[in-house]
A and B are shown apart, each in its own frame.
Chain A
Amino acid sequence: MNINILIVGVGGQGTLLASKILGNYATLINKDCKLSEVHGMSQRGGSVVTYVRISDKVYSPLIDKKNADVILAFEELEALRWADYIKDGGMIIINKQNLYPMPVITGKVDYPADIYERVGGYGAQIRNIDALEIAMKLGDLRTVNVAVLGFCAVLLKFDREKFKEAIKNSVPASTFDINLRAFEEGEKRA
């Protein structure tokens, strides 16, 4: 498997944990892997991107534009913001959630109404999941990220058992059960 995955969203949505789980999965399938994360100020509700690269040998921790096989977007506007990173024929997985950026809140600009149309212009397959609904049902909003991963793991044909192990290795033991449930709910939506 050689894969470049871009995880995009809003600071605080758990993109970092999602990338760690993917990195752990790479470990379990004996591949080289590089992850680039966001820490510090930009994590406070800013637009965030983490890069995940899995291959036999990885040099740069960054992904070039038009070079992502998959974009996992945790928020709709962010899907569009980073869509120019997708390869022709790649897949964009979008979590149906809207988080308004400050210029929208203050009424300076509108939240775009035609996000899906515009994302569609990048020639990628688009898939949709309502992971927030899953997380709300489970009673823990922080599980949105793992629900998205469950959905993605099916679409990308990841080894299910190994992926569950990767989750186990990445989350605190006390939250493993709820994360596993979020993962399985995500799988069901695929």
Chain B
Amino acid sequence: MKKLLLGDHAVAQGAYEAGVKVAAAYPGTPSTEITEYLSTFNDIYSEWSVNEKVAMEVGIGASMAGGRALVSMKHVGLNVAADPLFTYAYTGVNAGLVIAVADDPGMHSSQNEQDSRFYGLSAHIPMLEPSDSQEAKDFTKFAFELSEKYDTPVFIRLTTRIAHSRSFVEISKRQEIEFDYKQDIAKFVMVPANARKRHVKVEERERRLASDVNSFDINRIENGKNKIGIICAGAVYQYVKEALPDYPVFKLGFVYPLPVEKLREFASNCDDLIVIEELEPYIENALKSNGISVRGKELTGLQGELSSEKIKEIILGYKVISGKEELPARPPVMCAGCTHRGIYYVINKLKLNAAGDIGCYSLGCNEPLNAMHSLICMGAAIANTHGMEKAKGKDFSKKNIAVIGDSTFVHSGITGLINAVYNRSNITILILDNSTTGMTGHQPHPGTGKTIKNEQTHTLDFEALVRACGVNNVSVIDPYDLDMTESVIKEHIVKDGVSVIIARRPCILLDKTAKFDVAEIDNCRKCGMCLKLGCPAIRKNKDGSVAVDSTLCTACMLCEKVCKFASVKKVGDAK
């Protein structure tokens, strides 16, 4: 049976067919759908872990115990998970461990464009890269075999265009595989004496693999009439096939280790060699260091995604038709009725500096709110704010606030909070608790009391937790109540010590069946106050007055609260 599957779903399907027992991940675009899909199978244990490091440790535990495990994350998540992973590369596996990592060239939904292929190299872990959904499935199954055969974790590397494209996949049956658990202290306890011995094994394995890789047929040569040879992998392979149908192509299935001997042979049959790859000159540098002369980044550059169009432009000199339209940009915005909007409005009003974090609320940095002033990585807000206070002192801190979402707080904000209390910080932290992981598509987390399968579980009590960390000043506010929000922030920010404000109201999109009333604006006096909210449902008319788009409005009534002339009212006609 053939199915049109997302690349992410195909990885999940491959893991399912390979008899995977445990799947763990923290949601992150573009990798989220892997674990989401796996959670629909009853014969697999799946979970949203609180962060990628924990997910990796869960996967490692499963693998040590004898069950095949899949751990998934986006590129920046791999930074979080790197610590346990580097050591598991030393111990090797019992049952297979496969790590799916999804890069985001072009930064459709990420804070940087890092290239995960270097993790294969530096952790000594083989890495496969599929170029469509069928390969995503096949390579994942193959990765489990490799993992056990070579006693190593194995990477499947995706990019956004593979993870979030659909193509046909042949579905097969699940195979049940299980290994016995055997205690093995020398293999699994990485105290220095044991680790030194394992390091030797890692090198042996790598040499064996570096030679075997030349005979794996997932690295293949496709002949062509042209004298210039192209080397590529992943999504880029598809662009190359479309743009350069006559060129001989070396299609890599392995991106680490590279099949250097086979590539050398390919090189000897071409007059010229071009590596086409997104992001860093990873393949290019590896070939050059092996004495194979190639061109690459001098042609393609380091930034963003490629496409068949860009490849035609680069290699064939085609003129790309550039969009000639000067149009208003349409950046993403927080939804109409988003519970975060009022918070930023107040932060702005109080002229605070806000160290932010990753989530829907990151959009508070945009016009017209402009109320989030830094964003580094998951969980950084609290420790960043603490660092600011240590550099600039208590008084500076009275104009500073850390802003972090509930899911992000559980991911890696908690440690920052414990650190701040321990190190006698004087900071104010706003936890924006909308009871979900909004940006990646509303996944549950420990604060929601639901598992990935929507089963009831213990609900993390943020107030009690924060108090247990040593915070005495804790308040809970309703972010739709602007007056309350403002007075509580004012009250907390001048206090010494660490204080926490929890702004609690579920994301407006959580209840997809909800019917909303709408707001209406009568007798608008054109003061423009409501426009400062940045609500997409408010539109400015030609004459300067404003109106509400009833198809978008959710009747949060924030605009009513900021309007000085009582021009806004709620109309009952729920839609």
Q: Which residue numbers of A lie inside 8 Å of B, CB to CB?
A: 10-12, 20, 23-24, 26-27, 32-47, 58-62, 64-66, 77-78, 80-81, 83-84, 99-112, 118, 132, 136, 139, 141
Contacts and interface: CB of A to CB of B under 8 A. Distances in A.
B575 A40 contact: no
A80 B325 CA distance: 8
A107 B540 contact: yes
Given A44-B335, A61-B161, A102-B534, A77 B308 contact: no
In this complex, the interface size class of chain B, counting residues with CB under 8 Å from chain A, is 35 or more
Contacts of A47: 329-330
Contacts of B531: 105-107
B32 interface: yes
Contact of A36 (B29, B164, B242, B368): B164
B4 interface: yes
A80 B327 contact: yes
A62 B328 contact: no
A34 B6 CA distance: 9
Contact of A106 (B330, B367, B440): B367
Interface string B30-51: 1011000000000000000000
Contact of B328 (A12, A44, A66, A111): A111
B165 A35 contact: yes
Contacts of B335: 12, 44-45
Contacts of A24: 4
B104 to A, nearest CB: 9
Contacts of B363: 41, 44
Contact of A61 (B32, B167, B168, B360): B167
Contact of B309 (A10, A46, A64, A103): A64
A110 B326 CA distance: 12
A40 B166 contact: no
Given A39-B32, A61-B235, A66-B321, A101 B328 contact: yes
Interface string B1-36: 010101000000000000000000000011011000
Given A39-B164, A59-B238, A60-B242, A102 B320 contact: no
Given A24-B4, A34-B167, A61-B167, A46 B321 contact: no
B261 to A, nearest CB: 28
Interface string B335-362: 1000000000000000000000000101
Contacts of B312: 64
Given A59-B239, A62-B309, A112-B327, 6 more contacts: A41-B108, A41-B360, A61-B235, A62-B307, A80-B327, A102-B330
B540 A141 contact: no
Nearest to A45: B333
Interface string B433-463: 0000001110000000000000000000000
Nearest to B237: A59
B84 interface: no
